[in-house]
Amino acid sequence: MSQTKKNKDLLIPQQMRIEKRIEETLILTLITLGDRLKKRRDIISQELGISTQQWLVLLHLANDPNIPYLQRNPQNKALMASEIAESLDSSRPNVSNILNILLEKGLIVQIEDEEDRRRKRLGLSERGAELVGRLQPERRSLNEMLFFQLSDEEKEQFLYLAERVLEQLDEYLQYKQFAEPIGTD
């Protein structure tokens, strides 16, 4: 049986009746924004010879005060792999792979936990700290360029609204994680 349809069988957009809604437009715009920001991150990290995920781990170990996880969970000790995995919403094995690569590159070091020697905490090596420090001026400049048309008040409002939507999304995802799948008895 052929999968080829005739022109008369094609649905045209007017027949589908997808309603224009601000919520849908916001979601699709945020997806596009996220995709473009990822492309920018990829360009920056490739110039450094590391992946975007490796760069984000380095920022965590530099205790970057702009990272939402670190704002919600202030650290007085070096981070552990499990905390990085939680912040990046990534699996522990994936984060372990990233950490192994960064260890091989000499960008991070493992530190024994003072309270439990079986636990390993992580920190930037001298080379890793130098890399993060070297990129900060370019990172700051690119971020300022991205938002230069917005006033400080607009930036604060944008951040406030994004955080509120993120909280709602986190609540939904938490609920869905523990909810029974639809159609089960």
Interval 2-41: pLDDT, tens? 566 666 666 666 666 788 899 999 999 999 999 999 998 8
Domain ranges across the chain: 36-136
d(CA 142, CA 171): 32
Give the pLDDT band of residue 155 (cuts 50, 70, 90): very high
**In terms of Cα–Cα distance, which of 146, 141, 138 is closest to 45?**
138
| CA dist list (Å): 139 to 74, 112, 117, 122 | 23, 32, 36, 23
Q: For the sheet containing 79-80, what is the strand order? A: 79-80, 120-124, 108-112
- Domain boundaries 36-136, CATH class: mainly alpha
Per-residue pLDDT of 105-154, as tens digits, reads: 999 999 988 888 888 999 999 999 999 999 888 889 999 999 999 999 99
Q: Is pLDDT at 90 greater than 60 in this prediction?
A: yes
Mean pLDDT score, 66-70: 93
What is the reported pLDDT for 29? 95
Q: Which residue has the tokens 């995802």?
A: 173
User: Which of 78-92, 118-132, 170-184 is least confident?
Assistant: 170-184
Q: How many CB atoms lie within 10 A of CB 32?
A: 10
